[in-house]
Amino acid sequence: MERIVSKSFWHKYHERFHQLRSHVCIGLDSQLDKLPPSLKDSANPIRDFNLAIIAATQDYATAYKPNLAFYLADGLRGITALYDTVACIPPEIPVILDCKVGDIGSTMSAYVQAFFKDLKVDAITINPLMGADVLKPLLEIESSFAFALALTSNPSAQDFFQAHELKVAIPRWIEDYPLERLGAVVGATQVADLKSMRKSLPDRLLLIPGVGAQGGDLQAVMTHAIANKAEPRILINSSRGIIFASSGEDYAEAAGTAAQKLYEACKA
Protein backbone atom coordinates (compact mmCIF):
# COMPACT_ATOMS: atom_id res chain seq x y z
CA MET A 1 0.00 0.00 0.00
CA GLU A 2 1.21 3.49 -0.79
CA ARG A 3 -0.28 6.86 0.00
CA ILE A 4 -0.60 9.31 -2.89
CA VAL A 5 0.15 12.91 -1.92
CA SER A 6 -1.12 15.29 -4.60
CA LYS A 7 -1.97 18.40 -2.56
CA SER A 8 -0.24 20.30 0.20
CA PHE A 9 -1.20 19.97 3.84
CA TRP A 10 -2.42 23.59 3.84
CA HIS A 11 -4.71 22.94 0.88
CA LYS A 12 -6.02 19.64 2.24
CA TYR A 13 -6.64 21.11 5.68
CA HIS A 14 -8.74 23.94 4.26
CA GLU A 15 -10.71 21.65 1.97
CA ARG A 16 -11.41 19.21 4.78
CA PHE A 17 -12.33 21.89 7.31
CA HIS A 18 -14.75 23.64 4.99
CA GLN A 19 -16.32 20.31 4.04
CA LEU A 20 -16.88 19.12 7.63
CA ARG A 21 -16.62 22.31 9.71
CA SER A 22 -14.69 20.09 12.09
CA HIS A 23 -11.78 21.05 14.34
CA VAL A 24 -11.13 17.43 15.32
CA CYS A 25 -7.66 15.92 14.97
CA ILE A 26 -7.49 12.31 16.14
CA GLY A 27 -4.22 11.26 17.71
CA LEU A 28 -3.28 7.69 16.85
CA ASP A 29 -1.22 7.14 20.00
CA SER A 30 -1.69 3.40 19.70
CA GLN A 31 0.22 2.11 22.70
CA LEU A 32 0.61 -1.65 22.40
CA ASP A 33 -0.18 -2.54 26.02
CA LYS A 34 -3.40 -0.51 25.95
CA LEU A 35 -4.90 -2.24 22.93
CA PRO A 36 -8.02 -4.38 23.39
CA PRO A 37 -7.29 -7.99 24.44
CA SER A 38 -9.13 -9.20 21.35
CA LEU A 39 -6.17 -8.00 19.24
CA LYS A 40 -3.39 -9.69 21.20
CA ASP A 41 -3.10 -12.60 18.74
CA SER A 42 -3.15 -10.42 15.65
CA ALA A 43 -0.10 -10.52 13.38
CA ASN A 44 0.07 -6.73 13.70
CA PRO A 45 -2.12 -5.46 16.56
CA ILE A 46 -1.39 -1.74 16.15
CA ARG A 47 -2.17 -1.80 12.44
CA ASP A 48 -5.42 -3.70 12.89
CA PHE A 49 -6.46 -1.44 15.77
CA ASN A 50 -5.74 1.72 13.77
CA LEU A 51 -7.59 0.59 10.67
CA ALA A 52 -10.70 -0.10 12.76
CA ILE A 53 -10.39 3.26 14.52
CA ILE A 54 -9.98 5.13 11.23
CA ALA A 55 -13.00 3.42 9.69
CA ALA A 56 -15.11 4.38 12.72
CA THR A 57 -13.95 8.00 13.08
CA GLN A 58 -13.13 9.36 9.64
CA ASP A 59 -16.48 11.13 9.23
CA TYR A 60 -15.50 13.50 12.05
CA ALA A 61 -11.76 13.94 11.51
CA THR A 62 -10.16 16.90 9.82
CA ALA A 63 -6.75 15.30 10.44
CA TYR A 64 -5.06 12.27 11.99
CA LYS A 65 -1.89 12.46 14.07
CA PRO A 66 0.07 9.23 14.68
CA ASN A 67 2.72 9.57 17.37
CA LEU A 68 5.98 8.07 16.12
CA ALA A 69 7.12 6.81 19.54
CA PHE A 70 4.38 4.19 19.89
CA TYR A 71 5.27 2.64 16.53
CA LEU A 72 9.00 2.58 17.24
CA ALA A 73 8.26 0.83 20.54
CA ASP A 74 6.90 -2.18 18.64
CA GLY A 75 10.02 -2.52 16.48
CA LEU A 76 9.82 -3.49 12.83
CA ARG A 77 6.22 -4.60 13.25
CA GLY A 78 5.37 -1.17 14.61
CA ILE A 79 7.04 0.61 11.69
CA THR A 80 5.06 -1.60 9.32
CA ALA A 81 1.93 -0.61 11.24
CA LEU A 82 2.78 3.06 10.82
CA TYR A 83 3.31 2.76 7.06
CA ASP A 84 0.12 0.73 6.63
CA THR A 85 -1.83 3.17 8.79
CA VAL A 86 -0.73 6.23 6.83
CA ALA A 87 -1.43 4.45 3.54
CA CYS A 88 -4.97 3.57 4.63
CA ILE A 89 -6.03 7.04 5.75
CA PRO A 90 -8.23 8.52 3.00
CA PRO A 91 -6.00 10.78 0.89
CA GLU A 92 -8.24 13.82 1.39
CA ILE A 93 -7.60 13.69 5.17
CA PRO A 94 -4.23 15.21 6.09
CA VAL A 95 -1.81 13.22 8.27
CA ILE A 96 0.44 14.89 10.83
CA LEU A 97 3.33 12.80 12.12
CA ASP A 98 3.97 13.72 15.73
CA CYS A 99 7.74 13.23 15.85
CA LYS A 100 8.97 16.48 17.45
CA VAL A 101 12.26 16.37 15.58
CA GLY A 102 14.52 19.39 15.77
CA ASP A 103 17.94 18.72 14.31
CA ILE A 104 19.90 20.55 11.62
CA GLY A 105 21.78 19.98 8.38
CA SER A 106 21.98 16.50 6.88
CA THR A 107 20.31 14.96 9.94
CA MET A 108 17.19 17.08 9.57
CA SER A 109 17.27 16.50 5.82
CA ALA A 110 17.20 12.75 6.48
CA TYR A 111 14.19 13.15 8.77
CA VAL A 112 12.17 15.16 6.27
CA GLN A 113 13.12 12.83 3.41
CA ALA A 114 11.94 9.83 5.41
CA PHE A 115 8.71 11.40 6.60
CA PHE A 116 7.56 13.35 3.54
CA LYS A 117 9.05 11.43 0.62
CA ASP A 118 8.95 7.84 1.90
CA LEU A 119 6.25 7.65 4.57
CA LYS A 120 4.27 10.35 2.74
CA VAL A 121 2.75 12.25 5.63
CA ASP A 122 1.43 15.76 5.04
CA ALA A 123 2.93 17.53 8.07
CA ILE A 124 5.19 16.92 11.06
CA THR A 125 5.77 18.44 14.48
CA ILE A 126 9.16 20.04 15.11
CA ASN A 127 11.13 21.24 18.11
CA PRO A 128 12.45 24.72 17.18
CA LEU A 129 15.00 25.15 19.96
CA MET A 130 18.01 24.85 17.62
CA GLY A 131 16.70 27.80 15.64
CA ALA A 132 15.99 28.58 12.01
CA ASP A 133 18.37 25.85 10.78
CA VAL A 134 15.75 23.29 11.89
CA LEU A 135 13.32 24.56 9.27
CA LYS A 136 15.66 24.96 6.30
CA PRO A 137 15.66 21.28 5.12
CA LEU A 138 11.90 21.09 5.57
CA LEU A 139 11.28 24.14 3.39
CA GLU A 140 13.23 22.43 0.61
CA ILE A 141 10.45 19.83 0.38
CA GLU A 142 7.73 21.32 -1.77
CA SER A 143 4.40 21.88 0.03
CA SER A 144 5.66 20.47 3.33
CA PHE A 145 4.21 21.79 6.58
CA ALA A 146 5.36 21.77 10.19
CA PHE A 147 3.88 22.60 13.57
CA ALA A 148 6.54 24.13 15.81
CA LEU A 149 6.30 23.50 19.54
CA ALA A 150 5.35 26.87 21.00
CA LEU A 151 3.69 25.97 24.30
CA THR A 152 3.19 22.31 25.16
CA SER A 153 0.44 20.79 27.31
CA ASN A 154 2.61 19.06 29.94
CA PRO A 155 3.00 20.56 33.44
CA SER A 156 6.78 21.02 33.16
CA ALA A 157 6.37 23.21 30.07
CA GLN A 158 7.07 25.98 32.58
CA ASP A 159 10.72 24.86 32.74
CA PHE A 160 11.40 26.18 29.23
CA PHE A 161 8.38 27.06 27.11
CA GLN A 162 6.81 29.33 29.73
CA ALA A 163 10.07 31.10 30.49
CA HIS A 164 9.75 34.76 29.52
CA GLU A 165 12.41 34.77 26.83
CA LEU A 166 11.10 31.71 24.99
CA LYS A 167 7.50 32.83 25.30
CA VAL A 168 8.43 35.93 23.36
CA ALA A 169 10.99 34.43 20.98
CA ILE A 170 9.17 31.39 19.62
CA PRO A 171 6.07 33.17 18.26
CA ARG A 172 8.31 35.86 16.78
CA TRP A 173 10.47 33.18 15.08
CA ILE A 174 7.40 31.43 13.67
CA GLU A 175 6.11 34.68 12.18
CA ASP A 176 9.13 34.83 9.85
CA TYR A 177 7.68 31.97 7.77
CA PRO A 178 4.66 31.66 5.45
CA LEU A 179 1.31 30.69 6.97
CA GLU A 180 1.00 27.82 4.52
CA ARG A 181 4.26 26.21 5.69
CA LEU A 182 4.39 26.63 9.47
CA GLY A 183 1.91 26.42 12.34
CA ALA A 184 2.30 26.10 16.09
CA VAL A 185 1.57 23.59 18.84
CA VAL A 186 -0.19 25.23 21.79
CA GLY A 187 -1.45 23.02 24.63
CA ALA A 188 -5.09 23.18 25.69
CA THR A 189 -4.06 22.81 29.34
CA GLN A 190 -2.27 26.19 29.25
CA VAL A 191 -5.48 28.14 29.71
CA ALA A 192 -3.84 31.31 31.00
CA ASP A 193 -1.69 31.59 27.89
CA LEU A 194 -4.12 30.60 25.11
CA LYS A 195 -5.31 34.14 24.53
CA SER A 196 -1.81 35.65 24.46
CA MET A 197 -0.53 32.92 22.14
CA ARG A 198 -3.35 33.57 19.67
CA LYS A 199 -2.63 37.29 19.87
CA SER A 200 1.03 36.59 19.11
CA LEU A 201 0.11 34.24 16.23
CA PRO A 202 -3.08 35.86 14.88
CA ASP A 203 -3.45 33.91 11.62
CA ARG A 204 -1.48 30.73 12.25
CA LEU A 205 -2.96 27.27 12.27
CA LEU A 206 -2.69 26.04 15.85
CA LEU A 207 -2.48 22.36 16.73
CA ILE A 208 -3.97 22.10 20.21
CA PRO A 209 -3.29 18.88 22.17
CA GLY A 210 -4.40 18.18 25.70
CA VAL A 211 -8.19 17.98 25.30
CA GLY A 212 -9.59 14.75 26.70
CA ALA A 213 -7.39 12.51 28.86
CA GLN A 214 -5.03 15.38 29.76
CA GLY A 215 -7.91 17.50 31.00
CA GLY A 216 -7.58 20.48 28.67
CA ASP A 217 -10.37 23.06 28.80
CA LEU A 218 -12.31 22.81 25.52
CA GLN A 219 -14.40 25.87 26.28
CA ALA A 220 -11.27 27.94 26.89
CA VAL A 221 -9.88 26.77 23.55
CA MET A 222 -13.08 27.73 21.74
CA THR A 223 -13.13 31.11 23.48
CA HIS A 224 -9.49 32.13 23.22
CA ALA A 225 -7.74 30.14 20.47
CA ILE A 226 -9.96 30.77 17.44
CA ALA A 227 -8.53 33.21 14.90
CA ASN A 228 -11.91 34.31 13.55
CA LYS A 229 -15.31 32.79 12.78
CA ALA A 230 -14.71 32.35 9.05
CA GLU A 231 -11.22 30.86 9.47
CA PRO A 232 -10.86 29.52 13.03
CA ARG A 233 -7.49 27.88 12.22
CA ILE A 234 -7.39 25.40 15.06
CA LEU A 235 -7.01 21.64 15.17
CA ILE A 236 -8.13 20.22 18.51
CA ASN A 237 -6.31 16.96 19.10
CA SER A 238 -7.68 14.15 21.24
CA SER A 239 -5.84 10.85 21.40
CA ARG A 240 -6.55 8.54 24.32
CA GLY A 241 -9.97 10.09 24.94
CA ILE A 242 -11.08 8.81 21.55
CA ILE A 243 -9.05 5.76 20.60
CA PHE A 244 -9.19 4.19 24.06
CA ALA A 245 -12.79 5.12 24.81
CA SER A 246 -13.35 1.38 25.32
CA SER A 247 -11.01 -1.58 25.78
CA GLY A 248 -13.71 -4.09 24.92
CA GLU A 249 -14.92 -5.59 21.66
CA ASP A 250 -16.77 -2.33 20.98
CA TYR A 251 -13.54 -0.28 20.92
CA ALA A 252 -14.05 1.00 17.36
CA GLU A 253 -17.70 1.88 17.91
CA ALA A 254 -16.82 3.65 21.18
CA ALA A 255 -14.08 5.61 19.40
CA GLY A 256 -16.58 6.69 16.75
CA THR A 257 -18.98 7.87 19.45
CA ALA A 258 -16.23 9.78 21.26
CA ALA A 259 -15.06 11.41 18.02
CA GLN A 260 -18.64 12.43 17.21
CA LYS A 261 -19.06 13.91 20.69
CA LEU A 262 -15.94 16.06 20.34
CA TYR A 263 -16.96 17.04 16.80
CA GLU A 264 -20.37 18.21 17.99
CA ALA A 265 -18.93 20.02 21.00
CA CYS A 266 -16.63 22.17 18.89
CA LYS A 267 -18.27 22.22 15.46
CA ALA A 268 -17.63 25.51 13.69
Question: Active-site residues: which are they?
Answer: 100
Any residues with CB less than 8 A from the CB of 209 and at least 6 apart, and which? Answer: 27, 152, 153, 185, 187, 188, 216, 237, 239
Bin 177: left if φ > 0, else alpha if -120 < ψ < 50, else beta: beta
Rounded to whole angstroms, the Cα distance separating 146 from 151 reads 15
User: What count of other Cβ atoms lies within 10 Å of the Cβ of residue 12?
Assistant: 23
Query: Please, which residues have CB within 8 angstroms of residue 97's CB and are 6 or more apart in sequence?
Result: 65, 66, 68, 115, 119, 121, 123, 124, 125
CA torsion, points 256, 259, 264, 266, in degrees to nearest 10?
A: -170
How many residues in the chain?
268
Q: How many CA atoms lie within 13 A of 56 on its CB side?
A: 21
Q: Is 233 left (phi over 0), alpha (psi -120 to 50) or beta?
A: left
